[in-house]
Structure 1
Amino acid sequence: MTTFTPHGKNLIAGEWVAGEATFASAPVSGPSHSFTDGSPALVDAAVKAAEEAFWTYGYSSREDRAAFLNAIADEIEARGEQITEIGTQETGLPEARLQGERGRTTGQLRMFADHIMKGDYLDRRHDEALPDRAPLPRPDLRMVQRPIGPVAVFGASNFPLAFSTAGGDTASALAAGCPVVVKGHPAHPGTAEIVAEAIHAAVAKTGMPAGVFSMVHGAAHEVGGTLVKHPLIKAVGFTGSLKGGKALFDLCAQRPEPIPFFGELGSINPMFILAEAAKARGEEIGKGWAGSLTMGAGQFCTNPGIAVVGQGPEGDAFVAAAKSALEETAPQVMLTDGIASAYRDGKATFDASNAARPVMTSESEGRNAAPNLYETDVEAFLSDHALEQEVFGPLGVVIRVGSQDEMVELAKGFEGQLTATLHMDDGDTDAARQLMPVLERKAGRVLANGFPTGVEVCDAMVHGGPYPASTNFGATSVGTLAIRRFLRPVCYQNLPEALLPEDLR
């Protein structure tokens, strides 16, 4: 294998272009590389090229787009070892994690290729003309979903492949027929570059217009702001922090032409351990929770940061088992220095709160994160809003409840979530039935007897939820339904067949 050495340029409509400002990568291991940052001028060139490409790509056949998506997957796989090497250097993620994430990335691309070939996503409808209907005739009406235009995608810090340059947002937008401009994440710019090279190669291989994909580096906030405010961008896909996402969401809403911002902003993903389950296997659930909480240093948007369990000996056993398992967990390297610093700040918030009691605390230094565990009750938790804020990392909170009714009231008090989990046995069915109407309203995915860390890529998956989990409760960033974010329905009345989209003829 030859080592990939980034050239540090921006991909603008098929050309690698240097910017004026530069920044250096901050890898966990291996050499640092210099990258030229994007600029308003480069963003403008990329978006205008995407708009020009839309006039052909937006009207391309599903067969051609499927071939393009499969070609991207092929080119990523051809660079697999190089992607793993630079990805592990930049993020500190283990090789096995990067290899698995690469498989998920290519799997998403191939899944959308298959999905558009089936044609169900088009939601085609036809009401035939009724010329003799009284008192008024009905015209011939046909409806189909059509692509919206150029889409901006922001790479995620915690998924350098599956939620970044060629991740689910890019795959679903390209599948829909929308050109994409990616703002690469500065935490892994080399990984972004080599994946962009794979897409660039696929563009050439399949004869797609050069402007169908561009990638600009973005260490400066100005790049992202310029991208979402560009009048030719029609939607934005984002995975990241609540603070950063809210700022971009506000920019989208304040444009002269407001556009949808599909932001996945994180979640504390509460788990509810019901009475019979706690009695039968509370220790087992506690150990499992600790494993899920610390997986990947807790740097998952589905990390279950909250566990709700009853008072009494069964709840005590659950807490003791989680504490014991966390004490055996060594510190782990975090994705960036900034994330590590934010994790320490989050822990400091809990240490300063009178509403949270420390069960097990540890000090985290540098780019490492060690687990922490706190305990509180319903009244104290609801009185301190800071305790409901996501701490990105291996920090868990146990909320002790005195009754089933108190558990239901607590559930009603949670903000929107990506996931909510029930740990239950057969004897808990009635209690779970009480919670279900609440959890359905609070979360995009409801689990039973599992842990939410990890998201299956398939037709039925929903990765989204009410705000602040995401900014659009009707959308998902994972699964085939994700394509609907970048489509809009168009009705055709009495049009001759020659003028209809190919998919309606």
Structure 2
Amino acid sequence: MSYTPHGSHLIAGEKVKSEEIFSSAPVSGPAHDFSKGTPDLVAKACEAAEEAFWSYGYSSREERAAFLECIADEIEARAAEITETGNLETGLPTGRLEGERGRTTGQLRMFANHIRNGEYLDRRLTEALPDRQPAPRPDLRLMQRPIGPVAVFGASNFPLAFSVAGGDTAAALAAGCPVVVKGHSAHPGTGEIVGDAIVAAVKKCGIHPGVFSLVQGGGRDVGTTLVQHPLIKAVGFTGSFWGGKALYDLCVARPEPIPFFGELGSVNPMFVLPEAVKAKGEELGKGWAGSLSIGAGQFCTNPGLAIILKEQAEAFGQATVAGLKEVGEQVMLTSSMADTYRKGVAAVASETSVRELLTSMCDMRNATPNLFMVSGADWLSNQTLKEEVFGPMGIIVTAKDEEEMLTIAKSFEGQLTATMLMDDADKPLASKLLPILERKAGRILANAFPTGVEVCDSMVHGGPFPASTNFGATSVGTMSIRRFLRPVCYQDIPLDVLPQDAKDM
């Protein structure tokens, strides 16, 4: 291995060791030791972030844009090390890691362009009317301002795009908020390289070093300390429902409650409409198999559920089975994730109402596909079948008629995505489904599989609870910057005292 980790935390630009260590658990290659996070290190990082805010939070949009672009350049300069280390730690193939690195640097540059044009400031001017009767109207100027230091939790399933320099970090830095990242222990070496890239950009751009810190590993006390630290003003999180819900509850219970922007998972239902099945049912089944199993099913937008009319389910199921049989064993990101997947499959298989269409055995850190079928009535009455199983497992839910399909749609909790696979002749049914799905999901698709998430202005990656903890937010796309801003109104403030962006109205 050409890159040897230094194993340190990065606290306000400095490499810091701690007494306790933890070892990485790579898919291949040697394990490495990393310093383990502590509450004391979190406190130092938060204090440095607050100090940095007094300069970074009032920097120009151009200064922040140049900083984001410099981070992207520094990440690309370490491309080979990132790919090699990421492959050893996670088992993700070279192509996936290179694509994810491109997404990571791309969204940094996207935010640079976004803040340069200034639209995100949502500036509003109400001009003074000094002669208005019976009372004069003051000069009122509104714009968005950064909220302060932000905590970010790295995700297990995206070692780059949702981790140290991922979307949450990019959006917060673009807004003017310093960031304290809790790195994920599944890929500490990859996170370290990206953290080093950010520190290098901080130095090149002459920014206060407290603008970024990375605390590696650590137990629940580290996460608890981070979200409860009084200097932290918001949290970005991608991970499990129970982990996220626990952190969310801590944020709400603080003396000063703060927003917790958690993306907690989803089963991402697909409604396979009858005319589409008649026209291309086999093609749709095989397409679902590919989407269900890509990346060992370790995507938060993995479509784990297909709802279809009962009389069309058998042929669709067999087409899906044929596609899944072409998928071999795949390495999962962590051993615990693989174990959780196996337990989830076993829980579904143990339900007497469920029929097995494809079952398979896997061990160690590997995963293989599984497919089940259940009636709509049994699915509606069984909470176990509604839970997300993170991995390449799918359930076909058979509806006795279109009315039951609509009933199933209404029963869903919040989702990241909902899909309609449809033909032109399905539009009457799709028109009935769409208003329901609008209330259930942040992104609604027609004739596509939801696994891919385009990084652009118009993307929403979020949804009603429990898909995410804030239905008005997204963690992908330029609108995600809104999470780390708040509106400020300036009344009759002299122009030469106002921030520059408030003057230029």
Output the CA distance in 2 between the equivalents of 1:370 and 1:255. 43
Alignment of 1:398-477 (within 5 A): 398-477=396-475
Q: What whole-Å deviation, never above 9, does each CA across 1:265-302 have from its counterpart, x for those lacking one?
A: 11000000111001111110000000000000000000
**TM-fit CA distance, 1:132:** 2.2
Most deviating of 346-355 and 433-442: 346-355
Determine whether 1:275 maps to 2:271.
Answer: no
Output the CA distance in 2 between the equivalents of 1:206 and 1:151. 21
> 2:197 is paired with a residue of what secondary structure?
helix
Determine whether 1:118 maps to 2:120.
Answer: no
Q: Identity over aligned residues, as a percent?
A: 66
Output the CA distance in 1 between the equivalents of 2:489 and 2:87. 48
**TM-fit CA distance, 1:316:** 1.8
5+ residue gaps, structure 1, are: none
Alignment of 1:181-200 (within 5 A): 181-200=180-199
Q: CA RMSD in A?
A: 0.8
Output the CA distance in 2 between the equivalents of 1:136 and 1:318. 71
Determine whether 1:295 maps to 2:329.
Answer: no
Q: What whole-Å deviation, never above 9, does each CA across 1:245-268 have from its counterpart, x for those lacking one?
A: 001101101111000000001100
CA contact (8 A) 2:38 2:218 kept: no
Output the CA distance in 1 between the equivalents of 2:465 and 2:179. 25
Match of 1:15 in 2: 14
Output the CA distance in 2 between the equivalents of 1:221 and 1:20. 17
CA contact (8 A) 2:329 2:366 kept: yes
5+ residue gaps, structure 2, are: none
**TM-fit CA distance, 1:359:** 1.1
Determine whether 1:361 maps to 2:359.
Answer: yes
Output the CA distance in 2 between the equivalents of 1:348 and 1:499. 65
CA contact (8 A) 1:156 1:240 kept: yes
CA contact (8 A) 1:297 1:369 kept: yes
Output the CA distance in 2 between the equivalents of 1:96 and 1:384. 39
Output the CA distance in 2 between the equivalents of 1:154 and 1:191. 15
Match of 1:108 in 2: 107
Output the CA distance in 2 between the equivalents of 1:34 and 1:96. 27
Match of 1:88 in 2: 87
Match of 1:332 in 2: 330
Output the CA distance in 2 between the equivalents of 1:348 and 1:247. 26
Q: What whole-Å deviation, never above 9, does each CA across 1:308-349 have from its counterpart, x for those lacking one?
A: 11111x332111100111122111000000100100110111
CA contact (8 A) 1:420 1:446 kept: yes
Output the CA distance in 2 between the equivalents of 1:352 and 1:498. 71
Output the CA distance in 2 between the equivalents of 1:179 and 1:346. 38
1:379 to 377, 380, 396: 377
CA contact (8 A) 1:418 1:463 kept: yes
**TM-fit CA distance, 1:357:** 1.6
> 1:149 is paired with a residue of what secondary structure?
coil
Match of 2:319 in 1: 321
Alignment of 1:223-302 (within 5 A): 223-302=222-301
Q: What whole-Å deviation, never above 9, does each CA across 1:219-255 have from its counterpart, x for those lacking one?
A: 4121111100100000000000001100110110111
**TM-fit CA distance, 1:134:** 2.4
Q: How many residues align?
A: 503
Output the CA distance in 2 between the equivalents of 1:25 and 1:315. 44
Output the CA distance in 2 between the equivalents of 1:315 and 1:380. 15
User: What TM-score do you get using the length of structure 1 for normalisation?
Assistant: 0.99
User: What TM-score do you get using the length of structure 2 for normalisation?
Assistant: 0.99
Q: What whole-Å deviation, never above 9, does each CA across 1:373-423 have from its counterpart, x for those lacking one?
A: 011111101111111111000000000011111111100001100000001
CA contact (8 A) 1:374 1:398 kept: yes
Most deviating of 450-459 and 216-225: 216-225
1:169 maps to amino acid? D
**TM-fit CA distance, 1:136:** 2.2
Match of 1:479 in 2: 477
1:54 maps to amino acid? F
2:68 maps to amino acid? L
Determine whether 1:388 maps to 2:386.
Answer: yes
CA contact (8 A) 1:464 1:470 kept: yes
CA contact (8 A) 1:346 1:391 kept: yes
Alignment of 1:212-223 (within 5 A): 212-223=211-222
CA contact (8 A) 1:424 1:449 kept: yes
Alignment of 1:25-40 (within 5 A): 25-40=24-39
